[in-house]
Amino acid sequence: MAPAPTRLRLPHPVILLGAAVLVAALLTWILPAGQFDRRDDAATGRRVVVAGTYHRVNASHVGLFAAAVAIPRGFIAAADVIGLVLLVAGAWVVVDRLGTLPAVVAALVQRFASRGLWVIPLVSLFFGSMGALENMQEEIIPLVPVLLALGKGIGVDAVTVVAMSAGAAMVGSAFGPTNPFQAGIALKLAQLPPLGRGGVRMSMFVIGLALWIGLTMRHAIRTRTAPAASVRVGDSAVAVPQLDARHALIMAIVLAPMAAYVYGALRLEWGLNELAAGFLVAGLVAGLVGRMGLGTTVLTYLDGMQSVLPAAFMVGVARSISLVLEDGHVVDTILNSMVTPLGHLPAISSALLMIPLHGLLHVAVPSVSGQAVLTMPLFVPVSDLLGFSREAVVLAYQTGAGLAELVTPTNGALMAILLAAGVPYQRWFGFVVLGVAVLVLVGVLAIVAVA
């Protein structure tokens, strides 16, 4: 009898990202160097490209050593994200060692034991809303051990845990009408009101998140196992205590920075540094309230930071990919080659073709806000030329770039979350590809409605 075929196994995520850095360097030798002129945009406070100004520049090939140097440069460029991952993880491990996290997870499992998988829609709704409000992604990385413990308590696998947290957040970010880092920037650059077509955008968010929750529930039902008899968070050896007033206070302390950050991001222009600082303070205060002592709290905090070093490393490597492409002056070349054919197509075809173009470009530019700055000034004139609405351009960007966050291996946050959850990339891709296809149809229908 012939042996069973071996399933394709992709290399470790760090190897995948390292290979992507080398491919980016190779592209700087293959593609012609070029760039657009840029100007300061008062509405967004960013430098944006000027349509019609693409021109060739001197080649700037990136060699092997320069590609290696781009990796530590990527750490510097992604310092705020890496700092966030480390400092948030430290705070959560302090709370874990105090027994608060096991108590909270145990209480949640007990609460939903008779309701089975109905915890999935509630968790997904929370993370989807956070994605819509503040583009939540990196903040999820340190939460993975807690979410995995909750998943084991209700008998679902790690793919379900990633889907109901990071997946839901990315869907909410893509379709959220209030996301200041995606829809907000794109609408400003397209010179559209922030609440324009609010009904269409809210419908996209509700329908998209509902479909994603349905797909997550479908997978959870198919793969469900017996719930774990005991709850264990991370490497904690603490016996699961009862959720008492002290644990409730500690949990409130560690959640306070997140609540403050939502307000600060929307009203005070806060960034990841403010959130990281909030968790640093909260972790130390939680340790003192839990009578751990300052010295033990600091040592525990450092242990927590060490636990996410692999994930933090991946964030830095992922950022280096775009640095290599920028060094070689080929990002604008890739963008120009995508934009030029759009002006020669029928209006609706041009609008819909922007979706896959945004998805492809997002591999090279894994920042949704950065991609908006690059593409909106170029794609909006195409809509004016062909006579379809600028709203369609923004929706195509949200659908293409936003949903690409779910699949592109250059998304450092996604790869770090998969690594922390122990989910191989190919397994995640097998799950997510159907969801992305369904959600793209939501975007297509919305574009047709507003075009």
- Cβ contacts of 111-116, under 8 Å, gap ≥ 24: 112/154, 113/154, 113/227, 116/154
What is the reported pLDDT for 373? 72
Cα–Cα distance for residue pair 42/40, rounded to 1 Å: 6
Q: Which residues of 1-35 are buried (b: 16+ CB within 10 A; e: fewer)?
A: eeeeeeeeeeeebeebbbebbeebbebbeebebbb
What is the reported pLDDT for 442? 93
Helix (H) or strand (E) holding 432, with range, is helix 425-450
| 27 in Cβ contact with 299 (< 8 Å) | no
**Three-class HEC string of 358-427:** HHHHHHHCCCHHHHHHHHHHHHHHHHHHHCCCHHHHHHHHHHHHHHHCCCCCCCHHHHHHHHHHCCCHHH
Total-model pTM? 0.70
User: In the structure encoding, which two tokens stand for residue 135, read together?
Assistant: 């583009």
Cα–Cα distance for residue pair 113/12, rounded to 1 Å: 36
| Burial class, 207, CB count within 10 angstroms (exposed 0-12 / middle 13-18 / buried 19+) | middle
Give the three-class secondary structure for 40. strand
Give the three-class secondary structure for 239. coil
Give the three-class secondary structure for 313. helix
Residue pLDDT tens, the chain, 451 long = 444 444 556 666 678 778 888 988 999 999 999 888 888 777 656 677 777 788 898 988 999 999 999 999 988 887 887 887 788 778 878 887 887 776 776 676 666 655 667 888 988 988 888 788 767 777 777 678 778 877 887 888 999 999 999 999 999 988 887 676 677 777 777 777 766 677 788 899 999 999 999 999 999 999 888 766 555 555 444 445 567 788 888 888 888 887 887 778 767 777 778 888 888 998 899 899 888 888 888 998 888 888 778 777 877 887 788 788 889 998 888 878 877 777 777 878 888 888 888 888 887 777 777 777 777 777 877 777 677 788 888 899 999 988 999 998 878 788 888 988 889 988 999 999 999 999 999 999 998 888 7
Q: Please name the residues in contact with 211: beta carbons below 8 A apart, sequence gap of 6 or more.
A: 435, 438, 439, 442
What is the reported pLDDT for 236? 47
Residue type, 408: T
